[in-house]
Amino acid sequence: MRRYQILFFLISSCLLLSGCAVKTVKGFEQQAPAVTNYPVTYFSDAKTDYVYKAHIAIYGRDFGGIFIAKKINDTLYRAAFTTEFGNKLFDFEITDTSFKVNYILEELDKALIVNTLKRDFMLLLKQNHAVQEQYKDNQNTVYKSDAGKRSNYLFIDKTSGQLAKIVNATKSKEKTIISYTPQSNILAKNIVIEHKNIKLKIELNYLEQ
């Protein structure tokens, strides 16, 4: 009986440690948080129409076209994708706490796809992240922000001071990675949204106006 108790303790300890040692910040040094909130300033200028040449690969289908994100007011964004042939793929209204589908192509109107796009674009356009933990290595400062049953890890490049990457993860697995190539503090010239567990990838390249 005692042998089984010891075995149970060892297994429980391993699970606990693996739950804490998230791959995303493995090898990083944990610090006391220097901030309580991190504001993401990409897409923050209400005077700017954020227009990107876009490519979406989803379950073997490829869509190319134009993605537009517009800040309507302090809390509301409009995000739309139009194909190269002028057909609308989707049109969403997004806040930090709400997501409205104005239109989505029937082919994409599946619960799994809609919920994934919802999570992606709510994260992409989220303006403020409450910070619970902080980590660092030689290249990045990382802020951990709780997001329900998941967490968002925001990688701030030490050289540029700009947001370089957001990793959305559970306690044990990375789910989504948003990578940025900054052009300024309000504009990322290239954005890639990659999924670890489903066949969906979004690439956005800013169109100079």
Range 121-130 average pLDDT: 97
> Which residues, in sequence order, are CB contacts of 190 under 8 Å at separation 6+?
180, 181, 203, 204, 205, 206
Distance of CA 84 to the CA centre of its chain: 25
Per-residue pLDDT, 184: 93
Tell whether pTM > 0.85: yes
Per-residue pLDDT, 209: 72
CA distance 165 to 48: 22
| Residue 5 predicted with pLDDT over 70 | no
Residue-range domain boundaries for the chain? 21-206
- The CATH number given to 21-206 is 2.50.20
Range 179-194 average pLDDT: 96
Collapsing DSSP to helix, strand or coil, 126 comes out as coil
What would the pLDDT profile of 59-102 be if each residue is shown by its tens digit? Answer: 889 999 999 999 999 999 999 999 888 889 999 999 999 999 99
| Residue 35 predicted with pLDDT over 50 | yes
Six-digit token string for 16? 């606990």
